[in-house]
Chain A
Amino acid sequence: DQQVKQNSPSLSVQEGRISILNCDYTNSMFDYFLWYKKYPAEGPTFLISISSIKDKNEDGRFTVFLNKSAKHLSLHIVPSQPGDSAVYFCAASAFGNTPLVFGKGTRLSVIA
């Protein structure tokens, strides 16, 4: 049973436009959410996170929105750049440092 779902395996966006990556979760005990970026044959790198006490967190071009009632979060990248092309993983954790649970990832392609 998938607790973290990324229903779009891939997304293509033109350079300069907004990229929106979505993530849904089923476990109501999750209280911390993270996004990771991964290039082929490399380990994921941490991008941005959000605690369940917030509904928005920004870091430069990256913003994560959390809608707890809908159990939904999204990552916005504005403006999108070709270097953003990668696989993005959504991850979640319950309080107490339980291991992160990852979604299946969304492959973002930013077209110049």
Chain B
Amino acid sequence: DGGITQSPKYLFRKEGQNVTLSCEQNLNHDAMYWYRQDPGQGLRLIYYSQIVNDFQKGDIAEGYSVSREKKESFPLTVTSAQKNPTAFYLCASNSDRGYHYGYTFGSGTRLTVV
């Protein structure tokens, strides 16, 4: 079955540590995205990539970094510079066809800073 896999589902991080969230897709989609969900805030765009080896900052990129070395993978690193990292993180992908036929989302990673 094609889809997006995010791991882990739950992640705990100590203050000052970097942590990497995994996102893998087998849909052969060109574009991949990272969103963050906070209560009452909706989904806010962190980073996106429309092609391998290229990515762009979203609205809230500060304190985050990404890489896109393979089409299938778009890992997100939450660095110690991110002031409030506790949130639900969602990865998505879609086929680059000009118009959206709907993103496919992963099941999310809940990150908690302890």
Contacts and interface: CB of A to CB of B under 8 A. Distances in A.
B90 A44 contact: yes
B42 A100 contact: no
A51 B99 contact: yes
A45 B105 contact: yes
Interface string A22-37: 0000000000101010
B90 A97 contact: no
Q: For the complex, would chain A's binding face be called helix, strand, loop or mixed by DSSP majority?
A: loop
Interface string A98-112: 011111110000000
Interface string B28-46: 0001010100001111110
Given A46-B103, A96-B98, A99-B58, A41 B110 contact: yes
Contact of A95 (B35, B98, B102, B106): B98
Contact of B108 (A43, A51, A99): A43
A45 to B, nearest CB: 7
Contact of B100 (A45, A49, A89, A102): A49
Nearest to A35: B102
Contacts of B101: 46, 49
Interface of A: 6, 9, 32, 34, 36, 41-46, 49, 51, 89, 93, 95-97, 99-105
21 contacts: A34-B102, A41-B88, A41-B107, A43-B90, A43-B92, A43-B105, A43-B106, A46-B104, A49-B102, A93-B100, A95-B99, A97-B50, A97-B94, A97-B97, A97-B100, A99-B33, A99-B58, A100-B45, A102-B43, A104-B40, A104-B42
